[in-house]
Chain A
Amino acid sequence: MKQAIDWAAFPDARGHFGPYGGRFVAETLMGALDELQAVYEKYINDPEFVAELDADLRNFVGRPSPLYLAERLTRELGGAQIYLKREDLNHTGAHKVNNTIGQALLAKRLGKTRIIAETGAGQHGVATATVAARLGLECVVYMGAEDIQRQSPNVYRMRLLGADVVAVKSGSRTLKDALNEAMRDWVSNVDDTFYIIGTVAGPHPYPAMVRDFQSVIGREARAQHLEMTGRLPDALVACVGGGSNAIGLFHPFLADESVAMIGVEAGGEGVATGRHSAPLCAGRPGVLHGNRTYLMEDDNGQIIETHSISAGLDYPGVGPEHSWLKDLGRATYVSVTDAEALRAFHRLTRTEGIIPALETSHAVAHVLDLAPSMRSDQSLIINLSGRGDKDLNTIARLEGIEL
């Protein structure tokens, strides 16, 4: 009945995932995107490039990251076996570096001398500043003024690494505004500048390119799970901001029909309150930041302010491939509130000795409900996308402690 989809054939040549994706930018950037697409298509299957990328991922990032059976949490929840894909153990503390390593290698091949990036939680900014330092490239990171406040340890890390961190004070002063500002920089300096987008959003080829660089997560996890258990997992769970850690885990499993995929969005104060960051759960399709995707907008098509305790999920859009997977029913998307994420943060920290990022805590929170509903001969993988060091100030402040 259901026709098998050739997942590798998407996006199409113009960047479409069904009705989503595409390239919606001002004319000035079209040439740079053509150039980027050409260099990405040329190198992504080039043996020499792949070898260099693999070597960097192994020797600089520390891959492969472990797939870890969280025994105590599994026992406490009394359901599915819970495996953690330990992206928090990567150099710089999150999955973001998988992508910045790849894009920086492309920037080098294009002869660009200046790197720019947007960042929310600062993890992508740190990962970008890190690769820029390593290659000796100038680096400018745009960050919402509000995020600079709540993720100050990462701001300091970026500055130590030599990056110029620019506070963005327009709009809602968070990730979406940082992305606007980075785009404006790119338009103005397109000749010498490479824009490293940190998630699977933006105009084509970014959603496909970032997915390809992040898919190392799913390829490893699939092989590791098969080796450890002799079978595939029953479910994959990942938090979704722009959706890069989620698609990185999901994509290599798309053809495995028995594997369920669940993306967890930030429910903020609760989806019913309107104060959240859950476009797939509560938004509708529109066009923002170069692609067509689910968005949070008002009745007049203006993008509305989002709310989440986690800066990395505080974004009104989502990568276009997720919009498509949602419509197809291949993945499902749920939301978790700030309060639930905080409880999960403490729970994982106390039961497994792993302090997760607040973004990641959303995925953990969903599993606290999901795992007990599954049988103990079933298993699931949580993408443990990042570690919580950057969030200690936020957590401490909530508990009335100034660090």
Chain B
Amino acid sequence: MSRIAKRFAETRAHGRAALIPYVTAGDPAPGVTVALMHDLVAAGADLLELGVPFSDPMADGPVIQLACERALAHGTSLRDVIGMVRTFRERDRDTPVVLMGYLNPVERMGSEAFAEAAGAAGVDGVLLVDLPPEESADLSGLLERVGIEPIFLVAPTTSSVRLHHVAAAARGFIYYVSLKGVTGSRSLDTNELGARLGPIRALTELPLGVGFGIRDAETAARVARVADAVVVGSAIVRLVEEFPEAPEQFRAAASALVREMRTAMDAARMAEAPATV
């Protein structure tokens, strides 16, 4: 069983939704990232999403754009990011790590070289925002050969025909983009969410994660009621800007936010438990 499948089996068995914080690798500086990853796990993260900085993050809002710029100012490369995962794995063999980014740095490194290095470092999943299932066959094959699961997005605009394609290509979990917009945009509407996830559940056994637009513990808790995982990115990355010269304080603030979300999510599931069990 893959590390991702195992982790979701555990969270399911405990009746909780998984919490997946996203941080951009190398932001605010490369030296901060691995320590931050351990902090986030200690604060209650079940999986980690590690952003690979890219010069032209077309699907990201201003918060993650700036994070990419800061990371790139330190020269953070895809190889560096893989190295961070390798270092993280020295102390944490259980928490799945998903790399999230754009296709071009992977192509430049070479798909085969990337798959091999990432697999050896202990990367568990890869989500490339601008690589839809239609174009992904070659890379997915290489990734799966080294035990890395290709993760794909489903959006509110995904047609039922495309949903079949995505469900067939996806491994690990499906990432439902909860709003029409870039990362970090307006808050999502949690009322509709349950209804949106229904047709996806009908097509796949994979866990459903929900992200984009989850800003606070309250929203995370509402999403946790209907989704298998809650992905939180910009709300954490934004904290870097609050402590520009103090990475320690940023780490503490990020941990506090994750802890707060964890508590709210678990409470929301507990409140539901008698009804559903």
Contacts and interface: CB of A to CB of B under 8 A. Distances in A.
Interface string B151-170: 01111111100100010000
Contacts of A301: 54, 78, 104-109
Contacts of B153: 26-28
B132 A30 contact: yes
B245 interface: no
Contacts of B180: 28, 187-191
Contacts of A176: 56
A230 interface: no
Nearest to A284: B108
B181 A287 contact: no
A188 B186 CA distance: 10
A31 interface: yes
Range class of the A interface residue count: 35 or more
Contact of A180 (B58, B78, B162): B58
Interface residues of B, number: 44
A184 B180 CA distance: 10
Interface in A337-355: none
B130 A297 contact: no
Nearest to A172: B55
Contacts, number: 122
A23 B177 contact: no
B67 to A, nearest CB: 12
Nearest to A26: B59
Given A290-B130, A301-B108, A28 B155 contact: yes
Interface string A14-31: 100000001111111111
B77 interface: yes
B249 to A, nearest CB: 26
Nearest to B76: A300
Scoring B61, B153, B158, B181 by chain A CB atoms within 10 A of each residue's CB, the highest score goes to: B181
Given A22-B135, A176-B56, A302-B105, A27 B152 contact: yes
B166 to A, nearest CB: 7
A171 to B, nearest CB: 7
A302 B81 CA distance: 14
A299 to B, nearest CB: 7
Of B54, B108, B185, most buried by chain A (CB within 10 Å of CB) is B108
Contact of A25 (B79, B132, B159): B132
A106 interface: no
A27 B61 contact: no
Interface hub of B72, B104, B106, B152 (most chain A Cβ within 10 A): B104
B58 A190 contact: no
Contact of B132 (A23, A32, A302): A23
14 contacts: A24-B132, A26-B153, A27-B153, A30-B155, A34-B159, A171-B56, A171-B69, A180-B58, A184-B59, A184-B60, A184-B61, A285-B107, A287-B107, A302-B55
Given A184-B59, A289-B56, 10 more contacts: A23-B134, A27-B155, A170-B62, A188-B182, A188-B185, A190-B157, A300-B78, A300-B109, A301-B54, A302-B72
Interface of A: 14, 22-32, 34, 170-171, 176-177, 180, 183-184, 187-191, 285-290, 295, 297, 299-304
10 A-B pairs with the lowest CB-CB distances in the bound complex, closest first: A301-B108, A301-B105, A31-B157, A27-B153, A28-B155, A300-B77, A26-B59, A188-B181, A302-B55, A27-B155
